[in-house]
Amino acid sequence: MSAEDTPQIYLVTPPVFDLGSFPGQLSRVLEGADIACLRLSLATRDEDTLMRAADAVREVAHRFDVALVIDTHVVLSQRLGLDGVHLTDGARSVRAARKELGPDAIVGAYCHQSRHDGMNAGEAGADYVSFGPVSGSLGDGGTASEDLFGWWSEMIEVPVVAEGGLTEERIRALTPITDFFAIGEEIWSAEDPLAALQTLKAAMG
């Protein structure tokens, strides 16, 4: 992807949601916006909860022909017939996940702010690498800089995703140097998630 292309939206579910109302909310967003991929990203480790949530979300994703990946759970991704997995431990599990899921599955890796981890993940077979947060902090106080995205988009072929703390200002700055924006909690807390998403999308120019 060249810097002239507009980045695509990679939608992330809330960490907790109501199975009764969320699929409808998700449908409205997928109907109103062009979404490249959807990530099931729940805070729970309870397998039953994850499976029920995956079933509900997959039905909506498939209706709109959007690929669905799940955080971390390679085995569940396979068992539930999802499109792949998003790994949160940098390059560590990429090779094993690729071997387990096969060449056609989506395998992505969140690499925090580590260029080294990102390169290792790409070499191990990741389809994309994500860096973040791009503002605020997630406990360790670090943020992924524009320099990191600029260097990556210039030097590395593997698509890059910006996530965590996305604001209109951050989106404007990163649009020329990222392939995807992973947008989740930025919109789900809003009264109208689709309108919130469209506001962020407008910042891409």
pLDDT one-digit tens code per residue, 89-110: 999 999 999 999 999 999 999 9
Q: In this structure, what DSSP letter does residue 7 have? A: P
Stretch among 32-36, 77-81, 133-137, 167-171 having the lowest mean pLDDT: 133-137
How would residue 140 be classed by pLDDT, with cut points 50, 70 and 90? Answer: low
The count of C-alpha atoms lying within 13 angstroms of the C-alpha of 176, restricted to the half-sphere facing its C-beta, is 6
What structural domains and CATH numbers belong to the chain? 8-202 (3.20.20.70)
SS3 83: coil
